[in-house]
Structure 1
Amino acid sequence: MRKYAELSDEDLLILFQEDGEGVFKEIYNRYWSQLYSAAYRRVKSREVSQEIVQDIFTSLWIHREELNVKTSLTGYLLTAVKYRVLNHIEKEMVRRNYRALILDMPDQSPNFTEEAVFYDDLNSRLELEVSQFSPKCKEVFELSRKSYKSNKEIADLMNISVKTVENHLTKALQILRVQFKEVMILVIYSQL
């Protein structure tokens, strides 16, 4: 077994590709606390600092075969800390800005209970209005709006002309438009 503790950083890097695991342990033991301290000075969080250092060593191990250190190993690892810290700070700023944006937004969360009650009331009122149509008009309207039949299909089913179907629908919609005018105003106003 080689004594890696006695080797220089340059020698460690040369041997890293040949005997990765033993050299990796030496690099880890040699630099962990220095990298942790460098990260901690900037982020002031033990967990985040540990995560940053762990990510650096994981990346070092994964990319050991194509590792190309142009400066010293110390410089390489400290630069890695610097960039990981900057990435962390940038992500935190994005999160903070997003939280602030969400908190600054007026309460636009949907009130499903209120909307369900409004829908039920609206539907009940529609049923009441339709029930007051003449029997033929009511039948035409329900075949059109509830059964989704075309004007031609309704005419064939009821043995009337397509023009009569259109007249009944026009009359029904005019009545509903007048009866629901204030509801539409409320809906439009509530969305402003």
Structure 2
Amino acid sequence: MKELPDKTLFTLVQDHDERAFAVLLERYSRRMYDLVYKRTRDDDDTKDILQDIFISFWNNRDKIRIEDSIYPYLHRSAKYAVIDLAIRNQRVSAYQNLLAKQDEPFIHPAENSLIADELKLQYEREVARMPGTMQQIFRLSRDQHLSAREIAAQLQLSEQTVRNNITLALKKLRLSIGSDQLIVLLPLSLYISSALTVN
């Protein structure tokens, strides 16, 4: 079985063949580890990312489509996961910075809640001011966590149009609210989509 090409093994995986999955896992684990570790420089983070990638690969095997090799799929998954990790770390740092910028070292929980509510209200006002199509795309991405491809299919737009609108929406929000506050409010998927348009 180890000599079988990826496509044949993947067909077996789609038929719930765990041995074929184990062969693919063995075939790509080292290569994927090296790829991810170059970005994270952390053994634990790298192993966690790889575990998530391969679990997702198995759980979504019926939805995945490959041509000849599964490596492009794994590579994309690794890219998203590394960006996801970086943004999670950035969100923690941003939130800590927000707390550090408070004038008083300790704020009553009720006051904290009022600050958070005001921030959310400002955010919703800015989203409501966006043009119709931009607002619709942004809400689908934020609230339903749809990918650019899924939004494009639903709204009958090009994927690039969807990505452009998400990027413009984020720019508007950054200008009006600020990056530190915004990153605390938004799901990671939006930042991933925005980062991918740069590459």
TM-score, normalised relative to structure 2: 0.50
**What is the CA RMSD across the aligned residues, in angstroms?**
1.7
Q: Which blocks of at least 5 consecutive residues in structure 1 are unaligned? A: 112-192
Give the length in aligned residue pairs: 108
Q: 1:56 aligns with which of 36, 42, 53?
A: 53
Equivalent pair of 2:9/2:20 in contact (CA under 8 Å): yes
Which residue of 14, 20, 24 corresponds with 1:23? 20
1:136-191 CA-to-partner distances (Å, cap 9, x unmatched) read xxxxxxxxxxxxxxxxxxxxxxxxxxxxxxxxxxxxxxxxxxxxxxxxxxxxxxxx
Paired position in structure 2 for 1:85: 82
Indicate conservation of the 8 Å contact 2:7/2:66, yes or no: no
CA distance in 1, matches of 2:87, 2:52: 17
Q: CA deviation at 1:107?
A: 2.5
Change (3 A) 1:44 1:50: same
Q: Which residue of 2 aligns with 1:14?
A: 11
User: How big is the shift at 1:11?
Assistant: 1.3
Distance in structure 2 (CA, Å) of the matches to 1:15 and 1:71? 14
Compute the displacement of 1:104 (Å): 2.3
Larger Rg: 1
Q: Distance in 1 between matches of 2:88 and 2:33?
A: 19
Tell me which residue corresponds to 2:116: none
The 2-side partners of 1:73 and 1:45 are apart by 25
Q: Which has the higher contact order (CA 8 A, sep 6+)?
A: 2
Q: Are 2:44 and 1:47 equivalent residues in the alignment?
A: yes
Give me the whole-angstrom Cα distance separating, in 2, the residues matched to 1:104 and 1:20: 54
Matches within 5 A, 1:132-147: none
